[in-house]
A and B are shown apart, each in its own frame.
Chain A
């Protein structure tokens, strides 16, 4: 009898753990020891390379026994790489972040993700996390319009997407590519819903400088290469403005795409414990606040405070992302866009 209790109790606990994967998994000393034994963690992310390396630096300082490898690329490129690697049976990635939320739906369907809920995520609003604990929104940003203040007087600046079709903007616009960037894909999809593909067709006739990343467009207008960007990361604009670059953000009157960017752990992660340590670390209030302060990102963490001088989320007319609707259309969106704007 006694023996039975000894056997059943752990089994019951285990069953409970499986039935309720949303229970948070804290970074325990045992997990840390196992992670140190694994020695490293491989992090694929679509966030700006300097923001990514900044987070990695703090991680190294916090966990000196776990080396962190950062593989940064555009979110769509990250997605392609992981799929290509998995198809070739290469298991390299531990933790992934992408600004195309539909990727996580796809990976979850493929059963490639591991459920894991960092302690902080338990307190996140329900719309920013997967109910079964497979992923949660690690960062968010707006895909904003913007302009160079030396080249465009504020009075003449466009106020929304429709303005960009004016002939006076011909040759002055820069836009990132939905085949490369998850933010651009999410944003372009939102624009196509709000203004129609017809709008994008007309925009493509405006001599748009076709860049790849939504981190590239703010850099392009900051350097003065183009005067106005059609889409770009709000957080890169904040970084540029903090560095005193002559740029200003435009929150379009039609609405600004809000882009959430989740993070998840792969089920076949080569360093499963280190992956959990990193995932927990990424969602701590400290890291989230740092990304907001220094990286210009938006956070959905309840403890994070917005720095003064930034327009609060509540005051921005947002076009919400819709990953479920977007997922089946991704290939078509990219194809249509490439036919208009090139690769």
Chain B
């Protein structure tokens, strides 16, 4: 610190304060990024082929069963996912936060793992596990009970709306877990201890004291889970389409098949956008009144509830959930990657041919990896620079209207990936800027989509830097920019690195926006895998899945290296 201060006191050349011009530039950039696609979405949805005003697309949307059915499916499946997540993740969070459950560290690590597993990888794996006749779990089930495929009904039919709900829930529950666990960390445990001292059994305390206190977190978790499921593309495309079930995202995607029905696609995007905005507002309102005037900070030593014999029940909940989301899927992907024929036995079937195919024969592998990394690195770098500057301007309240900057940076959270892609497609397939067919349009999608994540991460880091340090530098005569570079930047370095990695991870797994924006030259790994799925090439898919998981976990390990904060 001394060194930095000394550095700042050195005599320096006169320089201009760039704060205002930089802010204006930021505002314009954000406006183009976020507002332009939404503008074209709205305009296109209200125009016919001759560019005259029409409400036909909306009329079509609300009377044609081909649209009403997917909308209804989307709503009920998302609600089901939200409910399942709350029912399973809330007890899990309570057990980790309040009881003497063994292996908590491992549990948290595995929950983090399912958090970072790309949902479409989970869906691929569950096709191999839960296909009604050839799926491994069903085969074991048939063998175990001496049943016959087709004659007897299967244990699981993953190709169904409920199969899709199940797999979505497996990779969405960590959101609810995190909300509830964080909320439990903040709620002082004195209230619960008082209840225990007064003689209430543990379940009663949990039901009457703890539960009401975490209701806001539960509701917020439900809403986030709902939104996550509503906007997924990969999972419904992999699990529901083979059963002839459409969701809004797969419907929008099918409207993009040539010749694209852009007006309808735009109109079909708006319900998703509106639902997201409304639910996010509800979530902010709920989280905003969290607390019920609970007094006191984080309590010092929470007395852990002893589970005793209930330990077995508690542990089996974790084993089932984490087994289904991590152990079984990862296992089946590994198995599939190393055997010739995925439905055959392991013994005598071992083969490296899929690895050889993917890395030495499949000509799309190289360009897919290059594209994915170029996009990941550039989106992460651009997003990090952007959110760091916006975060700084906003939190230090340096310019008039800084709130709008923060609002614009976090607004994309309300734009589902596929809706953003429709907007970008409309904006950049026409002059003045034709970006379709280049990596730029996908770059813009990733940058926009990841801004909110980056902003939240960087804002947390910035809040921990005392403004006094910066003020000292300013008093010694340094400009804002110089202060930012010399004082603030070194202090938030780790936060910046974590932001970069977070955006990188988010970008390399992106599917729902990429699926509408890629061309033959701009394929990513995720899109390549989706293409392989259409011809049932499971071996190469498993190889690419494992590669992607390894990259993701290396990156996650890097994050925990650079941040001391607790995981998820």
Contact surface of A with B, Cβ cutoff 8 Å: 42, 44, 48-50, 53, 56-57, 68-74, 77, 79-81, 83-85, 88-90, 92-93, 151, 171-172, 179-180, 209-213, 215-216, 219-220, 222-227, 243, 245, 338-339, 341-343
In the complex, which residue of chain A has the Cβ closest to the Cβ of B245?
Answer: A342
**A49-B532 in contact (CB<8A):** yes
Which chain A residues border B246 with CB–CB below 8 Å?
342-343
User: Do A210 and B519 contact each other (CB < 8 Å), given the known contacts A80-B257, A83-B258, A172-B150?
Assistant: no
In the complex, which residue of chain B has the Cβ closest to the Cβ of A334?
Answer: B257
**B436-A53 in contact (CB<8A):** no
Which chain B residues border A211 with CB–CB below 8 Å?
242, 534, 536
Q: Min CB distance, B47 to chain A, in Å?
A: 18
**C-alpha spacing A342/B159, complex, angstroms:** 13
Q: Min CB distance, A265 to chain B, in Å?
A: 16
**B159-A209 in contact (CB<8A):** yes
**Interface flag for B6 (CB, 8 Å):** no
Which chain B residues border A44 with CB–CB below 8 Å?
520
Majority secondary structure, B binding face: loop
Contact surface of B with A, Cβ cutoff 8 Å: 66, 131-135, 149-150, 159, 241-246, 250-251, 254, 257-260, 340-343, 357, 361-364, 367, 429, 434, 436-437, 519-521, 531-532, 534-538, 540
Which chain A residues border B437 with CB–CB below 8 Å?
85, 88, 90, 92
**B245-A92 in contact (CB<8A):** no
In the complex, which residue of chain A has the Cβ closest to the Cβ of B428?
Answer: A88
**A68-B133 in contact (CB<8A):** no
User: Do A53 and B257 contact each other (CB < 8 Å), given the known contacts A85-B519, A210-B244?
Assistant: no
Which chain B residues border A227 with CB–CB below 8 Å?
133, 150
Q: Min CB distance, B241 to chain A, in Å?
A: 6
**A212-B521 in contact (CB<8A):** no
**B150-A92 in contact (CB<8A):** no
User: Do A49 and B259 contact each other (CB < 8 Å), given the known contacts A44-B520, A57-B361, A88-B436?
Assistant: no
**C-alpha spacing A93/B534, complex, angstroms:** 21
Which chain B residues border A49 with CB–CB below 8 Å?
362, 532, 535, 537, 540
**A219-B536 in contact (CB<8A):** yes
Say which residue of B135, B241, B363, B434 sits within 8 Å of A343 (CB atoms): B241
Q: Min CB distance, B520 to chain A, in Å?
A: 4
Which chain B residues border A70 with CB–CB below 8 Å?
363-364
**B149-A151 in contact (CB<8A):** yes
**A216-B534 in contact (CB<8A):** yes
Say which residue of A71, A83, A213 sits within 8 Å of B534 (CB atoms): A213
Say which residue of A77, A81, A179, A225 sits within 8 Å of B519 (CB atoms): A81
In the assembled complex, 10 residue pairs joining A and B whose CB atoms fall closer than 8 Å, in A order, are A49-B362, A49-B540, A50-B357, A69-B363, A72-B364, A179-B254, A179-B257, A180-B534, A222-B341, A343-B251
Q: Min CB distance, A228 to chain B, in Å?
A: 10
Q: Min CB distance, A105 to chain B, in Å?
A: 16
In the complex, which residue of chain A has the Cβ closest to the Cβ of B139?
Answer: A224
**C-alpha spacing A319/B131, complex, angstroms:** 33
In the complex, which residue of chain B has the Cβ closest to the Cβ of A93?
Answer: B520
Say which residue of B257, B340, B535 sits within 8 Å of A48 (CB atoms): B535
Which chain B residues border A42 with CB–CB below 8 Å?
520
Say which residue of A48, A56, A79, A210 sits within 8 Å of B241 (CB atoms): A210
From B241, B258, B340, B520, residue with most partner A Cβ within 10 Å: B520
**C-alpha spacing A89/B436, complex, angstroms:** 10
